[in-house]
Amino acid sequence: MKKAFLLFLTILLISPVVLAQEIEKKEAQKGHYNISKFKQLNEELPTPNNQHTASGAPGYEYSQQKVDYKMDIVLDDENQRIYGEEIITYHNNSQDYLEYLWIQLDQNVRAADSKSPEIQSRGLNTLYTPSQFSKTFMEDKFDGGFKIDFVKNMDNSDASYLINQTMMRLNLEKPLAPGQTHTFKIKWWYNINNHVTQGGRSGFEHFPKDNNNSYVIAQFFPRLCVYNNVEGWQNDQFWGRSEFALEFGDYDVSITTPADHILGATGVLMNESEVLTKTQQNRLAKARTTFDNPVLIVTQEEATKAEKQKSKKTKTWRFFAENVRDYAFATSRKFIWDAMAVDINGRTVMAYSYYSKEANPLYGDHSTRATAQTLITYSRHTFDYPYHKAISVDGQMGMEYPQICFNPGRPNPDGTYNDRTKYRMIGVTIHEVGHNFFPMIVNSDERQWTWMDEGLNSFVQMLAMMDYEEGYPLNRGLPKNIVGYMKGDQSKLAPIMSKGDDVYQFGNNAYAKPATALWILRHTIMGPELFDHAFKTYATRWKFKHPTPADFFRTMEDASAMDLDWFWRGWFYTTGNTDIGIKEVKKYHITDKPTEQAIKRYERFGISKNDIPPSLYLVSEDSDEFTEDLKNNTAKDFSSLSTYIDENFSSEEKATLKSPKYFYEVKFEKPGDLVMPIIVEFEYEDGTKERKQYPAQIWRKNDAEVTKIFPTSKAIKKITIDPDEETADVDLSNNNWPKTTENKFDKFKKKQIKS
């Protein structure tokens, strides 16, 4: 009992600090897994196979399905409805037997019984405008969603199917064998939503002044899901945000509209002479040889005249689109239409714009030109644009489909517009036209990996905007502009490698942060030459195919001989941020007089002070041994150094030798989670500057701090880390020496001392 009491008393008397140190020491001795920031991504990436190889390229067994559509579509302008009938031919190019096919019914997200509104968490507002109150509490739900008239086999027998929200399962009578096709048909209709008042990625806009509608129509037909060897059927529900995974195929489409409508759509117009006037055909022929300025096919005067005369007749537009992954169209009697030819490495591609008078002159000034520039810049950084045209439509949203996209931007009623309106319109147009490359051709799964289309596209968009106008004001994608997001509340951040529906701050997560990551890779880590070749290799390898994130990561490394696993892990798999600072700077001077420290060191080896061989010593300015006369020494005056140089260097070599007078020992710290290069700028007392950049691998053995020595013949006045804000550093207060402002930690320490 006495021993136990003494032991208890001893424990009470032990300092909590000492106890904590002992526990920490024992914990430090335990074994641990590899926690290095430079650990390879082998555990995170899927195992390579013969379809998705270790190099990031498609393998020799790579295959993908093909789906062909023949559609007859009728637009009911009076009732704002779409009626459609389609014949679908599904080609099973896989090695699997398929028991059923999954079909996307995107319009069902707007059905009266849709569950999409039910997953939103919203409290009651205390203030509503009359329109908000009416819409929220009084109006009936919009009767949206597909109305399926029938699903039949080609012999007109009823096909077996089941609808689960935005997905339809077509049950096959027998499994579809590898190499076989299955053809069936669906008839449907739906009420078109007003995308201005009800939202949505397609729909109509009503113009009350002239009582006309403008239609931007997409996701309007039942379409097949992707089936592959990565995830099987990609049949995640469509909740309204994350977009689509689709198969490539051929589309034979007929669209019936009022006779006075002008229509643009995916595919080659097959009956131009039937739907265009002779004047329009002649203007279009001229546009096909005009590469400098857009040519008006339908003028504003003609469009304004058409607004006033609503035809009761109809006409049918026929299109054929080869090897596209989706289909969309836009139509209105209000449309002005202009066109311009674009030279893509000797092949002519057409840039078209369709817009209302309300969007002019902004669209007339910039839409087609921005479309053309997008095709040129993206082709240079990826592959030559393979289709015959690209269309920008005044759709007052930002949405993309093969060969056509819907964009925002309108001037003031008097036709004037400011730079903000102009650059927003140009930026969104370039972004949406750019989606022709990602994901309409490099066909990633947008619903699972949103960043693979939005992030990559936002990055190339930056390059196209800079090409469009010198000094273009970039915003999203620059490292300094992502800082606010990256240093935000960690509970409201998600890694880029997260499913799109599940992330916070969707724009920053899926667009801005991955675009910033690629900007940093190109401009700071890899350099344009290495990056551009690797990026182009990825795009070329996976055009008209279904890449995964691993294919992108592996290709970028495979084509550049750079190990970037540390970068992918930090930027894409974590929510860490960059914070690199200067912890300490010591200034040393050189002398040939033995220091006390050196004398003691020699004495430990039995060498007396008088027997120390000729040597050079560095003395810190904060040392007790530092004297003012050290400042006047120069290395060339030291006899031991002079003797060594005379005996070992020729006169030519002597002329190239430097004469360091000062030695700076700089200790860098890294409070941030991400490992990044250290970019250092030295400003000397004579006003000159010098920069050094150390690869991120400098942190490989010490993730907290590293030390570098800088010999120089000139005194350093100032040291700055990341002077151009290239690395998205979230705290610049520790980036300077001497410190210009207190950092947060210094302020915290002072506050603690004071309290």
The residues pairing with 69 across neighbouring beta strands, listed in sequence order, are 88, 251
In a domain, 410, yes or no: no
In a domain, 54, yes or no: yes
The residues pairing with 296 across neighbouring beta strands, listed in sequence order, are 338
Q: Please write the tens of the pLDDT for every residue from 714-723.
A: 999 999 999 9
Quote the pTM value. Answer: 0.90
- What are the respective helix, strand and coil percentages of the chain, to the nearest 5? 35, 30, 40
The alpha helices in 221-361, defined as continuous H runs, are: 272-275, 278-287, 300-307
Q: How far is CA 118 from CA 113, 121, 298, 721, in A?
A: 10, 8, 45, 49
Measured torsion, CA atoms of residues 557, 558, 559, 565, in degrees rounded to the nearest 10: 0
Q: What are phi and psi of 166, to 5 degrees?
A: -95, 15
Last residue of a domain, one of 509, 544, 575: 575
Q: Looking at residue 497, which CATH number applies to its domain?
A: 1.10.390
Q: Which distant-in-sequence residues (6+ apart) come within 8 Å of 752 by Cβ?
A: none
In a domain, 305, yes or no: no
Residues 656 and 523 in one domain: no
Please choose, from the candidates 427, 426, 453, the residue with its C-alpha nearest in 3D space to the C-alpha of residue 439: 453
| Cα separation, 722 vs 719, whole angstroms | 10
Residues 452 and 552 in one domain: yes
**362-381 and 419-434 helices, crossing angle to 10°:** 40
The residues pairing with 163 across neighbouring beta strands, listed in sequence order, are 168
Q: How many CA atoms lie within 13 A of 426 on its CB side?
A: 25
Measured torsion, CA atoms of residues 238, 243, 246, 250, in degrees rounded to the nearest 10: 110
Q: How far is CA 672 from CA 268, 440, 570, 574, 580, in A?
A: 53, 37, 11, 12, 7
Residue 145 burial by Cβ neighbours in a 10 Å radius (0-12, 13-18, 19+) = buried
Going by DSSP bridges, is the β-strand pair 203-207/212-218 parallel, antiparallel, or unpaired? antiparallel
| Cα separation, 537 vs 53, whole angstroms | 14
Residues 94 and 242 in one domain: yes
Lookup result for tokens 């579509």: 73
Q: What is the pLDDT of residue 2?
A: 47
Please choose, from the candidates 74, 336, 393, the residue with its C-alpha nearest in 3D space to the C-alpha of residue 205: 393
Q: Which distant-in-sequence residues (6+ apart) come within 8 Å of 61 by Cβ?
A: 49, 50, 51
In a domain, 275, yes or no: no
Residues 161 and 234 in one domain: yes
Going by DSSP bridges, is the β-strand pair 295-298/249-258 parallel, antiparallel, or unpaired? unpaired
Q: What is the pLDDT of residue 635?
A: 45
| Cα separation, 566 vs 15, whole angstroms | 41
| Cα separation, 142 vs 139, whole angstroms | 9
Please choose, from the candidates 445, 428, 440, the residue with its C-alpha nearest in 3D space to the C-alpha of residue 393: 428
Please choose, from the candidates 67, 330, 82, the residue with its C-alpha nearest in 3D space to the C-alpha of residue 188: 82
Residues 53 and 86 in one domain: no
| Cα separation, 255 vs 264, whole angstroms | 11
Residues 261 and 316 sit within 8 Å (Cβ to Cβ) = no
**Length of the chain measured in residues:** 755
In a domain, 311, yes or no: no
Q: What is the pLDDT of residue 5?
A: 43
List the chain residues with pLDDT less than 50.
Answer: 2-13, 634-636, 743, 745, 748, 753-755
| Cα separation, 190 vs 84, whole angstroms | 9
Residue 555 has which token pair? 């290709």
Q: Which distant-in-sequence residues (6+ apart) come within 8 Å of 636 by Cβ?
A: 642, 659
Q: How far is CA 367 from CA 267, 293, 390, 399, 641, in A?
A: 20, 11, 11, 15, 69
| Cα separation, 363 vs 417, whole angstroms | 11
Q: What are phi and psi of 117, to 5 degrees?
A: -65, -25
| Secondary structure (DSSP) of 20-36 | HHHHHHHHHTS------
Residues 288 and 294 sit within 8 Å (Cβ to Cβ) = no
Residues 503 and 640 in one domain: no
Number of domains in the chain: 3
Residues 70 and 166 in one domain: yes
Largest CA distance in the chain: 113
| Cα separation, 261 vs 276, whole angstroms | 10
In a domain, 130, yes or no: no
Q: How far is CA 591 from CA 54, 620, 715, in A?
A: 56, 11, 17
Residue 500 has which token pair? 């799109």
Residues 650 and 558 in one domain: no
| Cα separation, 96 vs 119, whole angstroms | 35
Residues 600 and 676 in one domain: yes
Residue 245 has which token pair? 């995974």
Residues 195 and 212 in one domain: yes
Q: Looking at residue 184, which CATH number applies to its domain?
A: 2.60.40
In a domain, 122, yes or no: no
Residues 567 and 632 in one domain: no
Residues 230 and 83 in one domain: yes
Last residue of a domain, one of 247, 271, 299: 247
The residues pairing with 665 across neighbouring beta strands, listed in sequence order, are 586, 709
Residues 470 and 354 sit within 8 Å (Cβ to Cβ) = no
Going by DSSP bridges, is the β-strand pair 81-91/66-76 parallel, antiparallel, or unpaired? antiparallel
Residues 457 and 434 sit within 8 Å (Cβ to Cβ) = yes
Residues 540 and 533 sit within 8 Å (Cβ to Cβ) = no
Structural domain span for residue 47: 37-62+444-575
What residue type is 593 in one-letter code?
K
Cβ of 461: how many Cβ atoms within 10 Å?
29
Lookup result for tokens 């053309």: 372
Helix (H, G, I), strand (E, B) or coil at 687: coil
Cβ of 383: how many Cβ atoms within 10 Å?
17
Last residue of a domain, one of 247, 275, 305: 247
Q: What are phi and psi of 212, to 5 degrees?
A: -125, 165
End-to-end CA distance of the chain: 44
Residues 73 and 83 sit within 8 Å (Cβ to Cβ) = yes
In a domain, 160, yes or no: yes
